[in-house]
Structure 1
Amino acid sequence: MHLLNEELWFPPVSETHPSGILAVGGDLSTERLLLAYHSGIFPWFEDGEPITWWAPDWRMVLFLDDLKVSKSMRNILNRGIFKVTFNQAFKAVIANCQSVKREGQHGTWITDDMIAAYVKLHELGHAKSVEVWQNGELVGGLYGVDLGSIFCGESMFSKVSNASKVAFIHLVECLKKNNYLLLDCQVYNEHLESLGCVEIERDAFMTILNHREE
């Protein structure tokens, strides 16, 4: 595990600790965040903890053609009960992702400094959001970092049933239309698996990421 200072660099992901942690320290500057994502690394830590950078052995991803949409979900989409927009309320989306209560989770890894850093990424065109509205109210959404042909999802929220799924499905449809290679979801959870996401080895993920860079 490496300790970062002000120098703008990361060790190779092959030096990641078995826990999935590659390095600790550094900052959340735009330059460092972009270097991290382009290197297959992401930040993940709770308020009061040092900045921690991850590159786990297994990566949760969605190959876009493998998206699973249930019949009931298709019915919800066809009914048009939600309005979906892109990049219209980024700060509101990330603020909701920070504040929403999650089962089995006491705090949040989306700190105020993290919000400021990703809002700046958004203003520079590197971070994107999907918003889901119902009766004029923001009821769901997600945000992430856009690498051009890979989208790195960060977090999503839902205030009403299925709103985050609607955001996810619309994002995937948009990525497919624009010939993206992959949706990176970082770490495993059952909800993502139900939508078609799978875990792949870090080396396989890095091969896809590096192909994107060519």
Structure 2
Amino acid sequence: MRPLLHWVTAEDPLPPPHAALREPNGLLAAGNDLSAQRLLEAYRSGIFPWYSEGQPVLWWSPDPRMVLALDRFKASRSLVKTVRRIRREGLWSIAFDQDFAAVIQACAQPREGLGDGTWITAQIAAAYCDLHRLGHAHSVEIRNEDRALIGGLYGVSIGRMFFGESMFAREPDASKIALFALVELLLAQGFRVIDCQQNTRHLASLGATEVPRMAFLSEVSELVAQPSPDWSAVRISFPNA
């Protein structure tokens, strides 16, 4: 008998991650509620939303889970050279939480080779902007000499756990440099890992690896319970940031 997918109303709690389907891997529940409170409940439980326009809100907790241990971040020699040059010459400015809405809109733009669709719907963008106003969603922005936004990323932070969501680049290596800056920032604040959700070759090339869901959930439970940094005081030490 095929397992049934849970439907959750705004009043229902999300089911536990171990109730997720094996196929498609990690699909846990569906519903219509994407409030900030629902998102925080989900992330604290190792669950994230992922769906397309016209679908209900779909909740996922795949097994295994892709994570980036911050001390295993792989920065290529060419990337390190680029970062050093940017710092030395002040070619680009890199900032934190200065234009969250612009970053999420840039991440929502169609990608070359991936068609016209995007999973970052207007509903998703509005929900994460709400989380940003509550101090739980954060962005890294990269601007060129003309102050044009050329790269960045955003994600969710609870306690000392960071959940990566999406990144974009309009210039070569811009998204990698944003991640480089985020890793430095998180290490300085006592973080250990970034949740990368699902396996991709790009993430693997940067040092991310798959871990069993149970191990991931154990780490999430520990880290979300730790005190959050004072994000209002956090700065990235790049030129003009």
Query: Taking structure 1 as the reference length, what is the TM-score of the superposition?
Result: 0.97
Q: Does 1:153 align with 2:180?
A: no
Contact 2:110–2:117 (Cα < 8 Å) also in 1: no
Question: What secondary structure, in the 3-state scheme, does the structure 2 residue paired with 1:110 have?
Answer: coil
Find out whether 1:50 has 2:51 as its counterpart: no
* Residues 8 and 32, structure 1, Cα contact 8 Å, conserved in 2: no
Shift of 1:148: 2.0
**d(CA) in 2 for partners of 1:104, 1:111:** 16
Alignment correspondent of 1:65: 71
Q: Partner residue of 2:236?
A: none
In structure 1, distance between residues paired with 2:219 and 2:175: 26
Cα deviation, residue 210, structure 1: 1.3
Residues 108 and 121, structure 2, Cα contact 8 Å, conserved in 1: yes
Cα displacement (A) at 1:103: 2.6
Letter of the aligned partner of 2:177 in structure 1?
V
Counterpart of 2:109 in structure 1 is 99
Give per-residue Cα distances to partners, 1:141-178, cap 9 Å, x unaligned.
00000112110000000001000000001001101011
Equivalent position to 2:196, from 160, 182, 185? 185
Which range moves more in the overlay, 18-27 or 38-47? 18-27
Q: What is residue 85 of structure 1 aligned with on the other side?
A: 95
- Name the residue aligned to 2:45: 39
What CA deviation, in whole Å up to 9, does each residue of 1:42-75 have, x standing for no partner?
0000111111000001111011100101111111
Find the counterpart in structure 2 of residue 113 from structure 1: 123
Secondary structure in 1 matching 2:155: strand
Instruction: Point out where structure 2 has 5 or more consecutive residues left out of the alignment.
Output: 227-241
What displacement does 1:105 show? 4.4
Q: Percent identity?
A: 45
Paired amino acid for 1:50: P
The answer to whether 1:127 aligns with 2:137 is: yes
- Name the amino acid aligned to 2:126: A
Paired residues in the alignment total 214
Q: Secondary structure at the match of 2:215?
A: helix
Please give the alpha-carbon distance, in whole angstroms, between the structure 2 residues aligned to 1:21 and 1:102: 27
The residue that corresponds to 2:152 in the other structure is 141
Q: Which runs of 5+ in 1 are unaligned?
A: none
User: Aligned residue for 1:170?
Assistant: 181
Superposition misfits of 4+ residues, deviation over 6 angstroms: none
Task: Give the drift of 1:104.
Answer: 3.1
Bigger Cα Rg: 2
Residues 1:14 and 2:25 are matched in the alignment: no
Kindly report the root-mean-square deviation, in angstroms, between the aligned alpha carbons of the 2 structures: 1.1
